[in-house]
Amino acid sequence: MKIKQNFMLREIAGSWLVVPLGERVVDFNGIITLSETGAFLWEILEKGAGVDELVNQLLLEYDVDETTARADVVEFTSALEEGALLEL
Amino acid sequence: MKEFHQSLQKAAFEKGIPVYGGFELTTRCNLSCRMCYVKGAGAGKSNHELTANQWVELGRAARDGGALAVFLTGGEPLIRDDFKEIYEAFCRLGLRLTLFTNGTLINEELAKWLSQIPPAAVDITLYGASETTYRNLCGSGEAFHKAMGGLELLLKNNITTRIKTTVVRSNVHDYQAVQTIALSYGLEFLPSNLIHGNRITGIKNINDERLSPGEIYSFDLANLEQGVCSPIDLENIKGQYKDSPAMFCLAGKCSFFINWLGRLVPCNLFEKPYTVPLDVGFKQAWDLLRHQVTQIPGLENCKGCELRAFCPVCPGRLYLETGKFDGHSEYVCLLAKEKERMMRNINL
């Protein structure tokens, strides 16, 4: 899975958000707000990663058990898929 | 999303991050509106305008400083030969862009190009609903048809568009018709009838054109009466605002404006204080400006005034009215009195 091109992840005043760039505004005219964990996963997904890799990265970075991490990753990537933000 | 914007604004205000901004790409315009606040600012000096590269450098630096929602304005920004160059770079910076335009320079080719890399929104200002009104107010009757043509091209190309209007004596009779245009296309309508002075000549050329305070609020009241409005606790509001600081808006705290000369100012009403980001870098220019804003004199004449809650007074507006940040403007005082009267009428 990989985030589609032409999105920019930004941290502004303590908030994480994603802004569409250029032609991406045609199909996504808005802003995506993310939690800190969401931003962490987004950054990995910009380069491309599978569910297992995302779970492993979460386990390395955060004090969380695998079941919770996997559930969070699945929920996050499902939301991205639903928003048509991923290249599968 | 509204909650997100509110919390972002609060955090930016507290931390002094310039999340909102305006870029005045030019003061040139193909119209010549009688109440224009910019007209004359660049007369004979268009060669002083910043280059496209300089604007892009400023946009990038503002983005790095935390800018998120910005507008491109003028004058008429589309009048620049290099507008596309500036815009294309801006729309890749990670900003939410709004384009302010009179719409008259939008043709098939431009609308199609814009539709491929659209801004978050285009705000078209309509100055009336007929050739006659445009001729009297803007110096060109033909401009009405061009503006309407531009509007239709934007909509045909699925570009998010909003309608603004500036209500003055020469077009007040067209207000309902302009509103009807906006509604007929299902567009957000953003009217404004509070005109401030020209940045160069102050109020001397706009006095005949702007509505009196009484007219402004009878106008607002008429519009409010079409909707539902809850009673307002006026006495409580008065108590809350009577000792407000001189500048209690976002300007110079989390919003900025870069004028056509590349000067960073608190908002579009101000010619000074200013700093020059192209000389010292955006971050230093912003920090300096924030400090300078705190040095703007307090509103001595307004201290303890119970009408502050209803008053549009600010140092920028007073400067344009009186030539002083803390001058006395009868017009502004009357605006406050009339607004209080309007609020009382709502409560009746």
**Farthest-apart Cα atoms in chain A, separation:** 40
Q: Flag if B91 and A26 touch (Cβ within 8 Å).
A: no
Confidence (pLDDT) at B279: 98
pLDDT above 70 covers a percentage of chain B that reads 95
Residues A25-44, mean pLDDT to the nearest whole number: 96
Q: Which residues of A fall within a CB distance of 8 Å from B160?
A: 29
Chain B residue with minimum CA distance to A9: B94
Task: Give the range among B25-34, B123-132, B176-185, B196-205 with minimum mean pLDDT.
Answer: B196-205
Number of domains in chain A: 1
3-state secondary structure at position B73: strand
Q: What is the mean pLDDT of residues B190-198?
A: 89
Q: Is B171 exposed, middle or buried (0-12, 13-18, 19+ CB in 10 A)?
A: buried
Inter-chain contacts counted by CB atoms under 8 A, chains A and B? 56
Tell whether the model's pLDDT for residue B147 goes beyond 70.
yes
Q: Does A19 touch chain B (CB under 8 A)?
A: yes
Residues of A within 8 A of B92 (CB-CB) are 21-22
Neighbouring residues of B318: CB distance < 8 A, sequence distance ≥ 6: B299, B324, B325, B326, B327, B329, B332
pTM over 0.90: yes
State phi, psi for A17 to the nearest 5 degrees.
-150, 160
Q: Helix or strand or coil: residue B161?
A: strand
Q: Which tokens is B102 given?
A: 């009179």
d(CA B122, CA B138): 20
* CA–CA distance, B266 with B292 (Å, rounded to integer): 10
CB proximity list for B77: less than 8 A, separation 6 or greater:
B25, B26, B83, B99, B100, B101
pLDDT confidence bin for B228, thresholds 50/70/90: low
Quick check: bond before B75 cis, omega within 30? yes
Q: Do B118 and A26 touch (CB under 8 A)?
A: yes
pLDDT of residue B142: 98
Report the distance separating Cα A41 and Cα A2, nearest Å.
11
Specify whether the CB–CB gap between A58 and A68 falls below 8 A. no
Report CA Rg, chain A.
13
Average pLDDT over residues B162-183: 96
> What separation in angstroms does the CA of B189 have from each of A6, A52, B54, B195?
31, 49, 33, 18
Domains and CATH numbers, chain B: 2-231+246-297 (3.20.20.70), 232-245+298-348 (no CATH)
Structural tokens at position B147: 């503006």
Do residue A14 and residue B15 have CB atoms under 8 angstroms apart? yes
Q: Do the chains contact at B116 and A26, CB–CB below 8 Å?
A: yes
List the domain range (segments joined by +) for residue A11.
2-87
CB proximity A75 to B under 8 Å? no
Name chain A contacts of B119, Cβ cutoff 8 Å. 25
